[in-house]
Amino acid sequence: MVDTVKFYEYLVNHDLDFFTGVPDSLLKELCACIKDRSDKEHNIIAANEGNSVALATGYHLSTGKLGVVYMQNSGEGNAVNPLLSLADPKVYSIPMLLIIGWRGEPGVHDEPQHVKQGEVTLRLLEAMDIPYKVLSDNFEADLEEMVKIAKAESKPVALVIRKGTFAKYDAINKTKIQMGTLLREEALRIILEETGDDPIVSTTGKESREIFELREANHQGHEHDFLTVGSMGHTSSIALGLSFGTSKNVWCLDGDGSFIMHMGSMAIAGANAKDNFKYIVNNNSAHESVGGQPTVGSEIDMKGVLHACGFAKVYEAKTEEEIRNSLKLMKKDGKCALILYTKQGSRDDLGRPTISPVDNKKNFMKQFK
């Protein structure tokens, strides 16, 4: 096991003090440590992992230093383009250190959305000619070796992090922004009551897990819910595509981290959606599912963004009454959106879908026949 603070201090003491990335559950301890100990200018929680590669590139341009980019291996896909067409030695040759959480490592049980990504994590790095090490307890040696290569060859290098590598980190700053008073799960219970048999497309992380469990608790089936277990940030586009093939109201249940990750998709939705596209974003200003790292959800004018993207009707709700009233109006409106404000938190015993993604898809598609 690697001492999280020592690892962080080693980086900073070796001039690796600019961090950027998207939080990951396997890197929860490290992300919490970086957030506690780096100031805002030295830890940019990015919209997506590709943005982080670009941020590290810009930082290198003005300082000559290596940026540190942290991500879950799911984010490798988002990072591929800037890694190959920006940072690669055949283009601008930018050194940086990638720290990649290895969900779905072969032989280690994980959720379906991580299996394929886990299988190809190392092969993807090899295909991109990115030297890597799977971080061992002798982290100083691993870091020294990788940073030496990054500097000598002026290219990205990676440390791949197995589950359980980082020791528990006790956060110094435990304050959390609370955007509302209801928990996400409580708000979802109300939404499921109001949307009845309409199709739902829900986002990555605990939101979909909670929807699954609420259906179980209500003795309902899961055939109306497309639980987007992976592919963070694409929920609204799946819902948009779906809405073109049906006259039913399509409810997209998104998270603020997911909304921000691919915010451009809302411009496309706003410009193209039919009247049956109903968008709900849960703004808890956090990546709550992976440890509560903050998003900029509390700092941006989400309502203004949605208006500007073409959603004339944008509701906001914090209480049960406000949620029910908004949903009643949304059913009659054309394309429209609701920003939900909830407080952070979830049950310790929250389960995971027991139906495979393929079965979820097959059951879900039956309603459109």
Binding site for ligand TPP (CB under 6 A): 22-24, 72, 74-75, 78, 184, 203-207, 232, 255-258, 284, 286-290, 295
Name which of 35, 51, 43, 45 is nearest 19 in CA terms.
43
Residues paired with residue 132 on neighbouring β-strands, in sequence order: 158
Cβ closer to ligand TPP: 295 or 326? 295
Q: How far apart are the two ends of the chain, measured CA to CA in Å? A: 52
Cβ closer to ligand TPP: 75 or 118? 75
Distance of closest approach, residue 70 Cβ to ligand TPP, in angstroms: 10
Cβ closer to ligand TPP: 232 or 250? 232
**Which structure tokens are listed for 357?**
């993604």
Name which of 29, 24, 23, 22 is nearest 3 in CA terms.
29
Query: What torsion, rounded to 10 degrees, do the Cα atoms 350, 354, 360, 366 define?
Result: -110
Return the DSSP state at 86. Answer: I
Distance of closest approach, residue 89 Cβ to ligand TPP, in angstroms: 25
Distance of closest approach, residue 212 Cβ to ligand TPP, in angstroms: 14
Contact 75, 287 (CB under 8 A): no
**Which structure tokens are listed for 65?**
């230093």
Query: Which residue's beta carbon is nearest to the bound ligand TPP?
Result: 255
Distance of closest approach, residue 82 Cβ to ligand TPP, in angstroms: 14
Give CB contacts under 8 A, 24+ apart, made by 356-359. Answer: 356/112, 357/112, 357/113, 357/227, 357/229
What span, in angstroms and rounded, lies between the C-alpha atoms of 67 and 19? 6
Q: Which residues contact 64 (CB under 8 A, 6 or more apart)?
A: none
Chain Cα centroid distance, residue 269: 20
Cβ closer to ligand TPP: 32 or 232? 232
Cβ closer to ligand TPP: 202 or 276? 202
Cβ closer to ligand TPP: 258 or 276? 258
Strands 313-317 vs 277-283: parallel, antiparallel or unpaired: unpaired
Strands 286-287 vs 277-283: parallel, antiparallel or unpaired: unpaired
Cβ closer to ligand TPP: 269 or 286? 286
Distance of closest approach, residue 283 Cβ to ligand TPP, in angstroms: 8
Distance of closest approach, residue 183 Cβ to ligand TPP, in angstroms: 11
Distance of closest approach, residue 366 Cβ to ligand TPP, in angstroms: 27
Cβ closer to ligand TPP: 276 or 360? 360
Surface-to-core class of residue 226, CB atoms within 10 Å of its CB (0-12 exposed, 13-18 middle, 19+ buried): buried
Handedness of CA 295, 301, 302, 305 (dihedral sign): negative
Distance of closest approach, residue 209 Cβ to ligand TPP, in angstroms: 10
Cβ closer to ligand TPP: 67 or 95? 67
Q: CA separation (Å) from 320 to 54, 184, 195, 336, 341?
A: 41, 12, 14, 19, 11
Distance of closest approach, residue 256 Cβ to ligand TPP, in angstroms: 4
